[in-house]
Structure 1
Amino acid sequence: MCIFVRETRIPDRDLSAPAYLYAGTMTYDSHTGDRPMRILWKLHHALPADVYTAARAIAA
């Protein structure tokens, strides 16, 4: 399974939506709960440092 991420939902000037970044492939690890369900995935390769930093700030 592949994952694509984007930092914001705010539209770009030239495009109707911001572009996604291909973050690589992943494998299911585990899940907890049911409403909402939390799914943990294991990435096969680490995210680039700038993407990781932005993701941590958004998730915090």
Structure 2
Amino acid sequence: MRDTELRELISEVYHANFRVYWARKVRRELNRQGHTVARCTVERLMRELGIAGAVRGRR
């Protein structure tokens, strides 16, 4: 039940920040908003949603 709530919050934060944030920054923003969540949980849910942050620099 918490995962469905967190999925919505993660996608809101992700889209509000121009689809650039990776799991670390999404987690920080959620913690600032008062939602305590672990980084591994954010990584798992982002993987399930099929979203990833922007890759910068050389590949």
Structure that is richer in helix per residue: 2
- TM-score, reference length from structure 1: 0.28
Greater C-alpha Rg: 1
Higher RCO (Cα < 8 Å, 6 or more apart): 2
- TM-score, reference length from structure 2: 0.29
